[in-house]
Structure 1
Amino acid sequence: MHRDLSFKWFFPHSPAAVWECLTEQEAIAEWLMKNDFKPVVGHKFNFHTKPIPKMDFDGIIYCEVLEVVPMQRLVYTWKGGPMPGVITLDTVLTWTLVAKENGTELRLEHSGFKGFKNYLSSLFMGAGWNGKIRKRLETLLNEKANATT
């Protein structure tokens, strides 16, 4: 069993504004999770959230930056499991920004969900990405735009 997630969203904000929200630690913490991210290929970082023991998840997402093309593409691993050193979810997250008239198209691909348990995880994560997480990103972009006007 294998599943990949793919979403395409439009934000009426510049690629630079969207890129900032995807790559600055403080901004990422506001719309996604607490982190120690740096947009540098090879940088290993973590996201921190509430553990879900029933899903064998310790609350830490272990990541490594694989690709950075400023204001166009950001790729990093997204791994998790029940404890440090035990990885049961091994996926890749790809953000692609496309400048459009009056804004930015943001594509999110979260690929590599393998096996039944990870298939179930992908259902929950897909609903989150396309629901509350997208909304929090949109809210942050709007707040930043309003603060500069």
Structure 2
Amino acid sequence: MKRDLSFRWYFPHSPAAVWACLTEQEAIAEWLMKNDFKPVVGHKFNFHTKPIPKMDFDGIVYGEVLEVRPQQRLVYSWKGGPGPGVITLDTVLTWTLVAKEGGTELRLEHSGFKGFKNYLSSLFMGAGWNGRIRKRLESLLNEKAHVTT
């Protein structure tokens, strides 16, 4: 059993503004999770959130930046498990930005959910990505646009 997630969102903001929210540590912490992210290929980083023991998740997402094309594409691994060194979720997250008239289309591909337990994780994560996380990203973009105008 394998499942991939795919979403397309439109934001009335420039690719540069969207890119900043996807790549700056402080911005990522506001809409996603605390982190030590850097948009540099090969950089290993962690996202930190509340553990979910019932889902065998210790609250740390282990990632490595795989591809960076400024304002166009960002790819990184997204791994997690019940504790350090024990990985039960091994996926890849791809952000693609496409300039559209008056804004940016943001595509999110989260791929590689394998097995029944990770299939269940994908259901929860998909709802989060397309729900509260998208809304928090949109809110941050609107807030930043308001500050700069």
Shorter-chain TM-score above 0.5: yes
Using the size of structure 2 for normalisation, the TM-score is 1.00
**Following the alignment from structure 1 to structure 2, what is the Cα–Cα distance between the partners of residues 110 and 54?**
22
Residue by residue, what CA displacement relative to the aligned partner does 1:87-145 show, whole Å, maximum 9, x if unpaired? Answer: 00000000000000000000000000000000000000000000000000000000000
Residue by residue, what CA displacement relative to the aligned partner does 1:34-54 show, whole Å, maximum 9, x if unpaired? Answer: 000000000000000000111
Are positions 1:75 and 2:78 aligned together?
Answer: no
User: In the alignment, which residue of structure 2 is the partner of 1:10?
Assistant: 10
Indicate the SS of the match to 2:30. helix
Residue by residue, what CA displacement relative to the aligned partner does 1:15-49 show, whole Å, maximum 9, x if unpaired? Answer: 00000000000000000000000000000000000
Are positions 1:22 and 2:34 aligned together?
Answer: no
User: In the alignment, which residue of structure 2 is the partner of 1:110?
Assistant: 110
Are positions 1:86 and 2:86 aligned together?
Answer: yes
**Following the alignment from structure 1 to structure 2, what is the Cα–Cα distance between the partners of residues 67 and 148?**
29
Aligned length: 149
User: In the alignment, which residue of structure 2 is the partner of 1:44?
Assistant: 44
Indicate the SS of the match to 2:4. strand
Residue by residue, what CA displacement relative to the aligned partner does 1:55-106 show, whole Å, maximum 9, x if unpaired? Answer: 1000000000000000000000000000010000000000000000000000
Indicate the SS of the match to 1:138. helix
User: In the alignment, which residue of structure 2 is the partner of 1:56?
Assistant: 56
Unaligned runs of 5+ in 1: none
Indicate the SS of the match to 2:121. helix
User: In the alignment, which residue of structure 1 is the partner of 2:132?
Assistant: 132
Please, what is the CA RMSD of the aligned residues? 0.2
What's the % identity of the aligned pairs? 90
Indicate the SS of the match to 2:42. coil
User: In the alignment, which residue of structure 2 is the partner of 1:143?
Assistant: 143
Dislocated runs of 4+, deviation >4 Å: none
Indicate the SS of the match to 1:129. helix
Indicate the SS of the match to 1:93. strand
